[in-house]
Amino acid sequence: MIGLWQRATPEQKLQKVFGIGSTLNQLICADLRRRYPDATEREIQLRLASRSFDRDLMIRAFGWDPKVRGL
Q: How many CB atoms lie within 10 A of CB 48?
A: 16
Predicted local distance difference test score (pLDDT) of residue 70: 75
Predicted local distance difference test score (pLDDT) of residue 38: 96
Predicted local distance difference test score (pLDDT) of residue 50: 94
Predicted local distance difference test score (pLDDT) of residue 69: 85
Q: Answer whether 58's CB lies under 8 Å from 64's CB.
A: yes
| Separation CA 49–CA 26 (nearest Å) | 13
pLDDT at residue 71 greater than cutoff 80: no
* pLDDT tens-place string over residues 4-39: 999 999 999 999 999 999 999 999 999 999 999 999
Q: Answer whether 4's CB lies under 8 Å from 13's CB.
A: no
